[in-house]
Amino acid sequence: MGCQAMTLPLALWAARNRHAIIFGVCFLGAWELLARNGLKPTVFPPPSSVLASLYLRGDLIAHHAWLTFYQTIVGFLISALAGVLIGWAIGKSRRLHEAMYPFIGVLQVLPKEAFAPLLVLWFGAGLLSRITLVFLISFFPIVINTMIGIQGIDENVRRYADTLSCRGWKMFFSIEMPSALPAIFTGLKISVTLAVAGALVAEIIAGRDGLGYLLLFASSRLDMSFSLGLLLLVAIWGALLFVAIELGERWALFWR
C-alpha cells in the first residue's frame, strides 16, 4: 500500500509534465551524442561525464555544499522578514512612500554584485559579508511586491473593515496580509532564485569554501565536467527552493 501511495503522485506529476520530461530527455540525448561525436569532451563534456564527476567528488561537494545552502537560507529569510515589514510600512504610509520609494528604485537598479568587494573590506571574507550580499540581492523584489500588494487593496474594503473596528494589527492580519499575499509570494519566488545566485557569487568573490569557491577552482583547472556539475547542483538547489515557496503559496492561498 505504501509503495502504491507514493507511485500515484509520481505518476500524476509525470503525466502533467510529460512534455517537459520528453523535451529534457531529448535535449540530454542530443547533448550526449554531440559531445561524444562532434565536440571536444574536455571543452563540452557529455552529461554522463558531468554526473560521474559529481559522484566521484561526492564527499568534497558535501563538505562545501552545506555552507552555500546555509548562506542562501539565512540571507533569504532575513530579506523576507525585513522586506515584508518595510514594504508593508511603505505601502501603508504615503509619506514613507514618497520619501523611500525613489531610493529603493535606484538601489534596485544597481548591480548588487558590485558591493561584494566593499562588503569584504567592511566585514571581512567570512559568513557575514556573504550573507549580507545574499540579503541585498534578494531584498528589493520582496519590498516592492509587498508594497504593491498593500497599495492594491480596495479602499472600500478598508473603509468597511474600519466600520467594524478592524484596525492596527487586526487590520494587518485580517485584511492587509491576506490581500497582499499573492504579490508577496511573487516577490518571494523571484527573490529565492536571486538568493541562490547571490550566495554563489559571494563565494566566488569572497569565499574560501562553498560551491562558488569549488566552481572557481574547477574552472581555473579547466575541469569542465566538474564545473558544469556544480552549476547543475546549484540549479537543482534553486529549483527546490522555488518549489518550496510554491507549495507554501498553495497552502497559504488555499481559498484561491
* Domains and their CATH numbers in the chain: 57-252 (1.10.3720.10)
Task: Determine the pLDDT at residue 166.
Answer: 63
Task: Determine the pLDDT at residue 188.
Answer: 92
- Residues in the chain predicted with pLDDT less than 70, given as ranges, are 1-14, 38-42, 154, 157-170, 172-174, 207, 255-256
Task: Determine the pLDDT at residue 213.
Answer: 86
- Give CB contacts under 8 A, 24+ apart, made by 39-44: 42/222, 42/224, 43/224, 44/224
User: 177: which 3 cell numbers?
Assistant: 496580509
